[in-house]
Amino acid sequence: MTYTQPASLPTRAWNAPRVGDWIVAVASVLGFVEAVLNYCFDVGIAYSEGAQLVVISTLLILLAIALVAWWPAMPRWLKVVFAILILLDFIGTGLAAYFLEAYLLLALMVVALIAWAFTSLTRRSSMEVRR
C-alpha cells in the first residue's frame, strides 16, 4: 500500500524569499547607507561622480533582488535577465568601490555576491510541476 498526499493540503503558492535573498537585501541596504555616507562625508570622494554612481547602483541591486525574490509570477526569461543584470551590478559596484577605496562597501558587495550566487544556484526551478 502506498501513501499519496491528499489533494486538500495547501501547496506553497508563492515564491517565498530565501535566506540568501534577505542577505543580499540587507547587504544592499547597508551598501546604500555606506555609499551615501561616502558621497556626503568622505573627504576623498565626496560629491564625486563615481560615488554617485555607487549610490545608484546599490539601489538598483536592492530593486532587482526585490523583484526577483518577491514577484512569483515573473516569467523565467525575465528572471534570467535580472540574474545577469544583478551579477553585472555586483561586479561593477565592487569594482567602483575598489577604485574609490571604499573597502567596507567592497566587502558588502562580496558578501552579497556570495549569498546571491548560493541562492541562485540552489533555487528550485519555477518550471517544476507542483503536486
**Using one digit for the tens of pLDDT, what is the confidence trace for 59-70?**
999 999 999 888
Model confidence band, residue 3 (pLDDT cutoffs 50, 70, 90): low
Q: Distance between CA 117 and CA 60 in Å, rounded? A: 17
Instruction: Average the pLDDT over 30-46 and give the result.
Output: 93
pLDDT of residue 17: 77
Task: Specify the higher pLDDT residue, 7 or 16.
Answer: 16
Nine cell digits for residue 54: 555607487
Instruction: Average the pLDDT over 21-32 and give the result.
Output: 94
Q: Distance between CA 93 and CA 107 in Å, rounded? A: 11
Sole residue written with cell 551615501: 36
**Using one digit for the tens of pLDDT, what is the confidence trace for 99-130?**
999 999 999 999 999 999 998 888 655 444 44
Q: Is the pLDDT score of 131 beyond 60?
A: no
CATH 3.90.1720 fits 19-120, yes or no: no
Residue 109 near residue 31, CB atoms below 8 Å: yes
**Using one digit for the tens of pLDDT, what is the confidence trace for 78-97?**
999 999 999 999 999 999 99
Nine cell digits for residue 107: 566587502
pLDDT of residue 129: 44
pLDDT of residue 50: 93
Q: Where are the domains of the chain?
A: 19-120
pLDDT of residue 122: 84
